[in-house]
Chain A
Amino acid sequence: MTLFQASEIVKVFPGVRALDGVTLSLEAGSVHALLGENGAGKSTLIKVVTGLYRPDGGRLLLDGREVSFGSPHESASAGIGVVHQERNLIPGFTVGENIMLQKLPTSRGLIDRAAIRSEALRWLAELELDIDPDQPVTELSVAQAQLVEIAKALSVESRVLLLDEPTASITPNEAALLFRVVEKLKDDGRAVLFVSHKLEEVFQICDTVTVLRDGASVLSGGALSELTRDQVVDLMVGRVHEALNLPDRTVDTSVAPILELRGVGTATGHSEVDLTVRPGEIVGLYGLVGAGRSELAKALLGLDRITAGEVLVRGQAVKIRTVRDALRNHKIGYVTENRKEEGVFLEQSVARNIAVTIWDRLRKFLGYVPAKSETEMVKSYVEQLGIRIASPSQHAGTLSGGNQQKVSLAKWLAAQTEILIIDEPTVGIDVRTKDAFHTLIWDLAANGLAILLITSDLPEMITLADRVVVMRDHRIQGELPNTHDYDQMSQQVIRLIHATPSTLGAA
């Protein structure tokens, strides 16, 4: 039985048709996947369904009746619950209040705390969760907070539940708990929409799938059992995706490592981390989100305390205290995963974004920075990296994700770094640009840069890395030479991640 249907939805933003005839139908007692690359229109579609955007065309049908939502509240009262990507709990409130926030029970004008407690308990019990409704949400773990949000979404008596990237920031064990909850919701006859980037999960728990590409649904409601992983990827990408052909590159293993970590422990909880990177080598640091990879990079840059072991740069034991120190004295650069907040200055010109690391070098008497040498430097990188801009004075915030990432990378190339830590370089970047980035990273290594590549994208890792180091729970699980053979490598890596410490010797 079709519970909810969005049919031929059109959403136009000035100059862009973000959604152009998207159809999505959700069946009772079934888990439906919504797939698509970044920018394909998934989040716009969710915003239309949840009443944040009004569609410019098409119809929304609930139980066969046409509905229209003017606000998130209206869609919630109609029975559509959502768990958004960002954590959406009110910090100062209890679990119970957060669950019941959309319709706080009152008696005689005052909030009825007993009713909150009993109602919240009911929804927590529905999910078989053992959480005290009077507990402040600030005391919950990430996964608990997520589950509380599901309870909150259910509390509006929702029969349709949208889960937007629910596993992005939780551990596999926690995800397993979440999937059990999803199964239960399905058995209760609810319709669940599951939005995820992780195809393994989609194939594991979803029944049917809708694939979006460039704002249109290229597959609407196909049964996942009849599809292969490759077919789904091809649908998302829109062409048969060819493996990238990269020229040969060999690492001179006789050269001493330029960066070496010996038994490093940090204030964020790393311990016994050993790692080496040679000039011209790409070392992949793989692990699930939360394994502590970016935190390790930040500790290396002096943003967090290193509490044990030693860091050697060019064979010398060093103590790096600030990013400036890392850059100036050791030529280490870090391309952050969080592009919008840490990578680029959205409200500043592209020129300044690229030149930020070199002012120190360009400055003359009294800190004077000659505009000419700055402009030349910027121009050269804009051309080499193919950054498509009208002028270097354009604000970085007006650029697409791919171009922003180029800007974020350019400043480290301009700074003439010799060791580059690249964190999730292609998140949110379309497939074509992704290939170009892979070529670039490969090429930088071929030219002698030492690269530590942090990525959660296994194909990316297997394409680029010379060695793969696997991290879990802030420890190194093991290290694998990369054969660039996807099937073999992915199995080995996954096995290594889930190996218990006692079986590690066998890996």
Chain B
Amino acid sequence: MTAPVSETATQALQEDAPIEKPPRGAPWWANQRIGLLVLVVLLGVLFGILRPAFYNQQLVIFPLLRDIAMFTVVGLAQLCVLSIGHMNLAVGRMAAFSMMLTGISYDLFHLTLYSGLLVGLVAGTAIGALAGWVIARTGVNSFVVTLALDFLLLGLIPLVYTGLTDNAAFVTKPPGMRELRNYSLADVCVGNVCGSPAVPQLALFAVVAMAVVGWIYARTRLGRELLMTGSSVKAAELSGIPTARRVITAHAMSGCLAALAGFMLAVSTGSIKATIGEEFMLPSFLGPILGGTLLAGGFVSIWGTLIGTALTSVIRKGLDLLGVGLESLNIYLGLILLVALSTDRVRTVLSERQEVRRQ
């Protein structure tokens, strides 16, 4: 493949100007994700010293990992829309909506566990795509559209539940749901070697989600085009990227992941009810933002989302074991969010001061 640039032109274009070097990258210790990882490990050790029960595989590690897995998927759901510079305030309600349809499929159509999951994923994708379509079509801010959608679903879901169930929860549980809740890798054996009993099988869903989302953003055209759209919609449009379609794709991905997270929550709590996803909004932003994903779009970090989520979950669990009331944990989570982002901001300002800037 050769370009139609001849040597004369190439020669004319060569400049004697010095190479424009990018500002030096921050040293490894200033890397946000590594800093967070170190923090997670340190906190894990600290809690372990204060409360040896922190290392109890069945009572602490197992549910902790299950939480991390679920909230990572929630974070990824938000990450998909953050990548194009949008937000999804309805992330929790999309999960509830999808699980409602999953519940109906179990209750009325007696589907198997995984066919029901599939129904949920399709529903989540559809409702996400709907949000994306409205945004792309009207040009209204994603914040407002997903907020309004949240309202709509908040109204719709209880109506359906009261219409179809007695106690605002679907009671039919497909076979395998209860088992999935408690299965760990110890139940997966290759010959005589079995996995750790501390790792829940549910975590595999998060691993798959991370792998797929990671692959999309790092290796495929779609992921790159999403990031370019996030960087500059105008430039993306003028570079031949179908930005309207990308907006819909991003929101559809978000809805699909929200549905998956809803399923994981339903499995781990053992019930499909209207309130699923109510507590998703804050963690959905915490994980990606702490992990370095930009609110403005154009950059995502899948590992960062995992580490950010792990940090908040470890703190939650650790403080819980230390006897801090569950609801007051919020105080610490909020403070961490502020401190983490402020220090990050301070770092940026410091490096900007050093940076050579032309005016």
Q: In their complex, do chains A and B touch, with some C-beta pair under 8 Å?
A: yes
Binding site for B on A (CB under 8 A): 13-16, 18, 44, 247, 301, 303, 322-324, 326-328, 334, 336, 338, 341-348, 352, 355-357, 359-360, 362-363, 366-369, 371, 377, 380-381, 383-386, 388-391, 394-395, 398-400, 402-403, 406, 411, 413-416, 432-433, 435-437, 439-440, 442-444, 446-449
Binding site for A on B (CB under 8 A): 1, 3-6, 8-10, 12-15, 17-23, 216, 219-222, 224-225, 227-228, 231-232, 234-242, 298-299, 353-359
B5 touches A388 (CB 8 A): no
B-side contacts of A13, CB under 8 Å: 357-359
A-side contacts of B355, CB under 8 Å: 14
Contact (A16, B357) CB under 8 Å given A345-B298, A352-B224, A384-B10: yes
B359 touches A18 (CB 8 A): yes
- 19 contacting pairs across A/B (C-beta < 8 A): A16-B358, A303-B237, A336-B238, A338-B234, A342-B238, A346-B232, A356-B240, A369-B221, A384-B5, A384-B9, A388-B19, A390-B22, A394-B21, A394-B22, A411-B239, A432-B15, A437-B13, A440-B5, A449-B4
Nearest CB of A to B268, in Å: 31
B-side contacts of A303, CB under 8 Å: 237-238
Contact of A413 among B4, B219, B236 (CB under 8 A): B4
Contact of A14 among B231, B239, B353 (CB under 8 A): B353
B13 touches A345 (CB 8 A): no
A-side contacts of B353, CB under 8 Å: 14
Instruction: Return the chain B residue nearest A44 by Cβ.
Output: B359
Q: Pick from B8, B354, B358 the residue with the most CB of A within 10 Å.
A: B358
Bound Cα distance A357, B228 (Å): 11
A-side contacts of B10, CB under 8 Å: 383-386
A384 touches B21 (CB 8 A): no
Instruction: Return the chain A residue nearest B18 by Cβ.
Output: A388
A-side contacts of B20, CB under 8 Å: 388-390, 394, 398-400, 403
Contact (A390, B21) CB under 8 Å given A44-B359, A433-B15, A444-B5: yes
Nearest CB of A to B199, in Å: 29
A386 touches B15 (CB 8 A): yes
Bound Cα distance A369, B219 (Å): 6
Contact of B220 among A14, A356, A369, A395 (CB under 8 A): A369
Contact (A367, B235) CB under 8 Å given A13-B358, A15-B356, A388-B15: no
B-side contacts of A432, CB under 8 Å: 15
A14 touches B357 (CB 8 A): yes
Nearest CB of B to A126, in Å: 35
A-B interface contact total, Cβ < 8 Å: 178
Q: Pick from A347, A352, A363, A433 the residue with the most CB of B within 10 Å.
A: A347
B238 touches A334 (CB 8 A): yes
Q: When A and B form their complex, which 3 residue pairs have the shortest distance between CB atoms, in order from nearest?
A: A15-B356, A386-B13, A367-B220
B3 touches A436 (CB 8 A): no
Contact (A324, B358) CB under 8 Å given A14-B353, A347-B298, A369-B219: no
Bound Cα distance A366, B219 (Å): 10
B-side contacts of A377, CB under 8 Å: 1
A-side contacts of B1, CB under 8 Å: 377, 416
B221 touches A439 (CB 8 A): no
Contact (A385, B232) CB under 8 Å given A345-B298, A406-B13: no
Contact of A324 among B220, B241, B356 (CB under 8 A): B241
B-side contacts of A388, CB under 8 Å: 15, 17-20
B220 touches A363 (CB 8 A): yes
B-side contacts of A341, CB under 8 Å: 232, 234-235
Nearest CB of B to A374, in Å: 9
B-side contacts of A359, CB under 8 Å: 221, 224-225
Nearest CB of B to A489, in Å: 23
Nearest CB of B to A47, in Å: 9
Contact of B13 among A356, A363, A385 (CB under 8 A): A385
Instruction: Return the chain A residue nearest B296 by Cβ.
Output: A347
Nearest CB of B to A477, in Å: 27
B-side contacts of A14, CB under 8 Å: 353-357
B-side contacts of A322, CB under 8 Å: 240, 242
A-side contacts of B356, CB under 8 Å: 14-16
B235 touches A342 (CB 8 A): yes
A-side contacts of B298, CB under 8 Å: 345, 347-348
Given A323-B240, A413-B4, 12 more pairs with CB closer than 8 A = A13-B358, A16-B359, A323-B239, A336-B235, A347-B231, A348-B231, A356-B225, A357-B240, A359-B225, A377-B1, A381-B3, A402-B15
B240 touches A440 (CB 8 A): no
Nearest CB of B to A410, in Å: 8
Instruction: Return the chain A residue nearest B244 by Cβ.
Output: A322
A347 touches B299 (CB 8 A): yes
Q: Pick from B5, B20, B240, B355 the residue with the most CB of A within 10 Å.
A: B240
Instruction: Return the chain A residue nearest B225 by Cβ.
Output: A359
Bound Cα distance A383, B18 (Å): 15
B3 touches A380 (CB 8 A): yes
Instruction: Return the chain B residue nearest A370 by Cβ.
Output: B219
A247 touches B358 (CB 8 A): no
B-side contacts of A368, CB under 8 Å: 219-220
Instruction: Return the chain B residue nearest A356 by Cβ.
Output: B239
A356 touches B241 (CB 8 A): yes
A435 touches B12 (CB 8 A): yes
B-side contacts of A390, CB under 8 Å: 19-22
A443 touches B9 (CB 8 A): yes
B-side contacts of A357, CB under 8 Å: 239-240
Instruction: Return the chain A residue nearest B352 by Cβ.
Output: A14
B-side contacts of A389, CB under 8 Å: 19-20
A-side contacts of B299, CB under 8 Å: 347
Bound Cα distance A327, B4 (Å): 17
Instruction: Return the chain A residue nearest B297 by Cβ.
Output: A347
Q: Pick from B216, B239, B298 the residue with the most CB of A within 10 Å.
A: B239
B-side contacts of A352, CB under 8 Å: 224, 227-228
Nearest CB of A to B26, in Å: 14
Bound Cα distance A263, B224 (Å): 39
Bound Cα distance A375, B114 (Å): 41
Nearest CB of A to B217, in Å: 11
Contact of A443 among B5, B17, B236, B359 (CB under 8 A): B5
Bound Cα distance A344, B19 (Å): 19
Instruction: Return the chain A residue nearest B5 by Cβ.
Output: A384
Bound Cα distance A325, B279 (Å): 43
Instruction: Return the chain A residue nearest B298 by Cβ.
Output: A347
Nearest CB of A to B353, in Å: 7
A-side contacts of B231, CB under 8 Å: 345-348
A436 touches B239 (CB 8 A): no
Bound Cα distance A323, B245 (Å): 13
Nearest CB of A to B31, in Å: 16
Bound Cα distance A415, B238 (Å): 13
Bound Cα distance A448, B4 (Å): 8
Nearest CB of A to B248, in Å: 14
